Chain A
Amino acid sequence: MNAKRIWSWFVVAISAFYFIMPLVATFEFSMRMRRGEYSFDAYRSVLSDQQFASTFGYSVGMALITIVMNSLLIVPTAYWVRLRMPQLRPVIEFVTLLPLVIPSIVVVFGYLRLYNSSSFLPFTNSDTGTNILLVFGFMEMSLPYMYRSVDTAMRTIDVNVLTEAAESLGAKWHTILFRCIFPNVLTGVLSGAFISFAIAVGEFTMPSLLNRPAFGPYLALIGANKAYEPPALAIIAFAMTWISIILINITTRLQKGAAGAR
């Protein structure tokens, strides 16, 4: 037990060093805006920009919607495929890997051509329509991670036995899904949710080409010609995304706790 603990702490410590150093270096550089002394000038410059708050808020909103839609789509599908159509698994897995190698710029060009104002599904005609298209785009981008996460979690629970047991106790399909399956794959769903969130908040190409006021394009705009503000912005974005994910984590655990106590 002791050796295991020591080894675990060692691994975590080395990893922490590797991950924190680049952030420290970025932070140190961002503090150098005022010549000769450390100051928060770059941060003041970034935070006083009202566009920062509005674009970050927009992206967080889109990200949360993406997570919910993703969970509602992927978990039932992964469950259904495992239960009823295992022969489809290779096909679905290949499909879920595609977004990694199809550059998002090609996807967006495809969307613009397929769903523009003169098509049968004119998403781009309105702001709401374009927002919906953007959410679908984010879902497409986070599909590989979400699916792999949920599928990995489902692998370790025996869905067939769980389903049969629940059915024999008289449960309907939605009870099975939401009260039996979901809680057991929650870690997988959360992992996928975290990744989806980070992707949606940081993504540049899609909201840029669809002309939505998101955080990614704002980051690029600041990064183009300034020296000290982009690293400051990167640190702020990192911190705020981390806080958002911690909040998602806490909220989910509280909900789960409440559900369990019922």
Chain B
Amino acid sequence: MLTQSLKLLSLTTAIAIAASGMARAGSMEDLVAAAKKEGTLTTIALPHDWCNYGGAIEGFKAKYGLAVNELNPDAGSGDEVEAIKANKGNTGSQAPDVIDVGLSFGPQAKKDGLIQPYKVSTWDEIPDSAKDADGFWYGDYYGVMSMFVNKDLVKESPKDWADLQKPEFANMVALAGDPRQANQAISGVFAAGLSAANGDVAKAGDAGLDFFKGLNSKGNFVPVVGKAAPFAQGTTPIVLAWDYNALSWADGLKGNPPSEVIVPPTGVVAGVYVQAISAFAPHPNAAKLWMEYLYSDEGQLAWLKGYCHPIRFNAMSKAGKIPADLMAKLPPAENYAKAVFPTLDEQAAYKKTITENWDKVVGANVK
């Protein structure tokens, strides 16, 4: 009898809190129970080798016994947002519950009414600049732009951005995507520009375009999208990609070819991704439980295993929660300390510059 009233009381309180608009993490047990009732979580755009999502998903399944329905791992941030839009009103298995998108997609998705707010229990350890005050979206991990080098074809690795212009790197440098579309490629251009502009963020967009114009006219730039296969085959021996991708590729190649991941001393750009729950999620409680898992120590360390810096890295590091052997696998920490985290406005500005002017300035047009 007493337990029943207590349960009723906690349930009413939870409802009251939720109703008041403050989406605080209510009773953890209630959440787990509600999530288990839903039984499934639908994710999208989570390749298993990206930040060790494979490990995170397995850990989540093992801990809570839920099934995870994984949609389109190849999706880009735009795809994820479109998937939410397209599945409005659909509770079938094609509708994603949670998304993991580039920082600039958060505010737009919030504006379009596509996501719902939720603040995880470790909310306060997320830096303010990487989350929405109302709890609609929140940074999950970051990496820095690096150079992935094929040691079979490159005798001496470039040490910094400026080195890439040297003649010994002819027909070698590639981006990891289309700089008119993909976040990773645009960040690559921006990072080169930041180095060339000596840290001036406002000028970095144009500086980056000029850098690649030079790269292209010297014949150093290869317009093919850099990935593990063309890297190993030899078409793109130097790929500019997020450090976690490069390290993950290096793991997969197992020394065939031998490779090196270089975080340059100048022009260190950090890319933040954010999590959000779909406003039309068919399994909202499973979604919230997933967020709780990801932002718990276990989840954050799973990402670190995938070479991504989890968003609570600084807080966890101070509290001594980071194992030394994981730290040893990452590139040296000094260069990470110099990382620049562009604000939303700065990102919007340089993205506009780069995407709109790439064809004109770099003119790597196929003849």
Contacts and interface: CB of A to CB of B under 8 A. Distances in A.
B86 A113 contact: yes
Interface string A212-236: 0000010011011111101100000
A220 B89 contact: no
B248 A116 contact: no
Interface string A31-67: 0111100000000000000000000000000000000
B47 interface: yes
A242 interface: no
A13 to B, nearest CB: 28
A209 interface: yes
Interface residues of B, number: 33
Interface in B77-94: 82-83, 86-94
Contacts of B94: 112, 116, 124, 130, 209-211
Contacts of B227: 224-225
B295 interface: no
A209 B96 CA distance: 10
A52 to B, nearest CB: 16
Nearest to A129: B92
B74 A225 contact: no
Contact of B229 (A108, A208, A209, A231): A231
B72 A118 contact: no
B197 to A, nearest CB: 32
B91 A227 contact: no
Nearest to A224: B47
A251 interface: no
A81 to B, nearest CB: 34
Contacts of B248: 225
B89 A117 contact: yes
B219 to A, nearest CB: 24
Contact of A224 (B73, B83, B88): B73
A interface, size bucket: 20 to 34
A175 interface: no
B91 A117 contact: yes
A226 B69 CA distance: 22
Contact of A221 (B73, B89, B257): B73
B249 A225 contact: yes
B288 to A, nearest CB: 22
B233 interface: yes
Nearest to A35: B256
Contact of A118 (B50, B89, B233): B89
Chain B contact residues: helix, strand, loop or mixed: loop
Contacts of A225: 47, 49-50, 227-228, 245, 248-249, 252
Contacts of B273: none
Nearest to A113: B86
The A contact surface, by secondary structure, is: helix
A130 B83 contact: no
A27 interface: no
Interface in A104-152: 108-109, 112-113, 116-119, 124-125, 130
B92 A109 contact: no
B93 A220 contact: no
A112 to B, nearest CB: 4
A49 to B, nearest CB: 13
Contact of A112 (B50, B90, B245, B257): B90
Given A34-B256, A227-B253, A117 B74 contact: no
B137 interface: no
B232 A112 contact: no
Nearest to B69: A211
A224 B231 CA distance: 13
A30 to B, nearest CB: 10
Nearest to B85: A109
A226 to B, nearest CB: 6
Contacts of B113: none
A117 B90 contact: yes
A118 B69 CA distance: 21
B214 interface: no
Q: Which of A116, A125, A220 has the most B CB atoms < 10 Å from its CB?
A: A116
B74 A130 contact: no
Given A33-B256, A225-B49, A130 B228 contact: no
12 contacts: A34-B256, A35-B257, A109-B82, A113-B89, A116-B90, A124-B90, A130-B93, A211-B92, A211-B93, A217-B72, A225-B252, A227-B233
Given A112-B94, A130-B92, A220-B74, 11 more contacts: A35-B255, A35-B257, A108-B86, A112-B87, A118-B90, A124-B93, A209-B86, A211-B71, A225-B47, A225-B49, A227-B231
